[in-house]
Amino acid sequence: MTERVRAARGTVPRCRNWRAEALLRMLENVLEVGERPEDLVVYASLGKAARDWPAYHAIVAALTELAEDETLVLQSGRPAGVLHTHSAAPMVVSAVNNTVGAWSDKERFYARMAAGDTIWGGLTAAAWQYIGRQGVLGGTYELLRAALGAEGANGRWLLTAGLGGMGSAQPISARMLGLGSLTVEADPAKIEKLRAAGGLDVVASDLDEAIAAAIEAKAVALQGNAATVFTELAERGVAPDLVTDQTAAHDARYGYLPEGMELGEWRALADAEPERVEQRARESMARQLTAMLAFAERGCIVFENGNNLRVQAAELLGDKAFTIPGFMEAYLRPLFCRGIGPFRWVALSGDENDLAVIDELAATLFPERPEVAEWIRLARIHVPGQGLPARSCWLGHGERSRIAVAVNEAVRDGRIGAPVLFSRDHLDSAGMTHPRIGTEGMRDGSDGVTDWPLLDSMLLSAGGADLVAVHSGGGGYSGWMQSAGVSVVADGSVAAEGRLRLALDLDTGLGVLRHAIAGYPEAVEQAGENQGTQLIELEGER
């Protein structure tokens, strides 16, 4: 079944209340900006918004009739039912692909997916919180900024791969920092999509042209296989200043094109001969990672950007694959210790003027953090729109609720024409456990402990968030991750103000506590500075 979904705009809801209307528009929006909306796939090869089209239509019908004292229950992308709760309860609770440990392997996942019994919800796909490439653009910007350090761009350039839904944020983030970039992408359609959106300066015809343009601080794309191009660059002795990757390497079956295969052949063989495809893909990943290790030996800044490339390559390379650090442990954890992470908002009216009002609030509310105003300034210049007007912005504990309450007031007094939805990436301070991504190298060894996202979902429900989701890994992420997601709607009401303040502060507060208990002094200090966040230390700790 093929359908084209576009998020509703305007100031008139179709649902019985704006809280449900907001969630319906977000469901529509993730498909509007998704990679394969005809298959309900939002990003990362398999991340889906709903289990199938009958489930999608049933969800839409349920949201349309949902009352504020009712809760829609979703189980792995299909509606299970509507329960009577109360007006301060979540409108939607969703659990996706959560299985006991012995069942959390990829073969069982693929079998259950093929039978129509489950989906992988990605992080923000099945929680309807994806806002296109911009959802990770702020995080990529913060990551590259941290990796560049005090020296800044200063004539340096980035080598990377992958221009999918999230990977396409890489050249834009680099451009915002004045950093040249060369991104290798196998699919010409993805290159053209980003070029048409204005996210590329040059689509190179050969490797020499690509290198020259990247050195000139251009955003460059080159069609090719990442393993092949990275290896050739390493063999030539080229030394990019920064090297990473954001292909869908987490999924060796459906996410990474093996060397020597054409796109059409690969897509057919992924279902027909999955073991062969996976083996070939891992061999190619190992070649790519071997080249990355060579770059690191030359003094290049090399890191994995959260796609399990090292885990896949380690099947052939062993532990040396992990001599390349992960991005969170190497660069972003100090921000998470303070509850600072990938916050986002969506103007549900579809009116760019509403987004401009929120941008102005964000640029002025945090004078103690001038980097926020600078990010907003750059984002307004460089970030191409996708779907409903939206913005990602890395804000921390107490800051998220501050802007959300200010926006709620602006909705109430008419400066903003319709409600606004606030959300975040699941890869947040308390929202994820993944020992090779967000929680790699935790100081207390709690890399794989999933208590925190589960506790987060409980607190978010207690705080009255409008949507609370708990996701587990699928495909190549099977057995590797647990995450919690949240959406809260600013509809201008007094009740919304309470939900925004409580849910958002509980979310970031738990993130601060999670890192304080793990032994990070920045988090202990942050907990001591904020009312409502009390750290309990046991005798003899630290």
pLDDT at 1 over 80: no
Side chain identity at 122, as an amino acid letter?
A: G
Q: What is the pLDDT of residues 149-185, one digit of tens each?
A: 999 999 999 999 999 888 999 999 999 999 999 999 9
pLDDT at 94 over 80: yes
Residues contacting 486, CB < 8 A, separation 6+:
423, 424, 431, 456, 460, 465, 467, 468, 469, 503, 504, 507
Q: What is the pLDDT of residues 189-217, one digit of tens each?
A: 999 999 999 999 999 999 999 999 999 99
Of 295, 336, 506, 323, give the one whose Cα is nearest residue 434. Answer: 336
pLDDT band at 368 (very low <50, low <70, confident <90, very high): very high
Q: What six digits make up the tokens of 142?
A: 């913060």
Position 426 scores a pLDDT of 97
Task: List 490's β-bridge partners, or say none.
Answer: 420
CA distance 416 to 408: 9
Q: Is 289 exposed, middle or buried (0-12, 13-18, 19+ CB in 10 A)?
A: buried
What average pLDDT does the chain have?
95
Q: What six digits make up the tokens of 396?
A: 């921390």
Radius of gyration of the chain (CA): 22
pLDDT at 2 over 80: no
Q: What is the pLDDT of residues 495-530, one digit of tens each?
A: 999 999 999 999 999 999 999 999 999 999 999 887
What phi and psi, each to the nearest 5 degrees, are found at residue 194?
-75, -35
Position 476 scores a pLDDT of 85
The stretch 458-464 carries a mean pLDDT of 98
399-413 and 352-364 are packed helices; what angle lies between their axes, rounded to 10 degrees? 140
Side chain identity at 465, as an amino acid letter?
A: A
- Calculate the alpha carbon distances from 353 to 11, 347, 423 in Å: 13, 9, 20
The stretch 372-391 carries a mean pLDDT of 96
Q: Is 54 exposed, middle or buried (0-12, 13-18, 19+ CB in 10 A)?
A: exposed
Grouping H, G, I as helix, E, B as strand and the rest as coil, residue 388 is coil
Residues contacting 342, CB < 8 A, separation 6+:
135, 136, 138, 139, 392, 394, 424, 425, 427, 428
Determine whether 393 is an active site residue: yes
Residues contacting 61, CB < 8 A, separation 6+:
none
Give the angle 480-148-340 at the CA atoms, nearest 5°. Answer: 55
9-15: long-range contacts (C-beta < 8 A, 24 or more apart)?
Answer: 9/349, 9/350, 9/351, 9/388, 10/349, 10/350, 10/418, 11/349, 11/417, 11/418, 14/64, 15/63, 15/64, 15/65, 15/66
CA distance 407 to 401: 10
The stretch 299-325 carries a mean pLDDT of 95
CA distance 496 to 207: 53
Q: What is the pLDDT of residues 390-415, one digit of tens each?
A: 999 999 999 999 999 999 999 999 99
Of 499, 487, 527, 498, give the one whose Cα is nearest residue 396. Answer: 527
Tokens 């945090």 label which residue?
366
Position 436 scores a pLDDT of 87
Position 541 scores a pLDDT of 65
Q: What is the pLDDT of residues 95-128, one digit of tens each?
A: 999 999 999 999 999 999 999 999 999 999 999 9
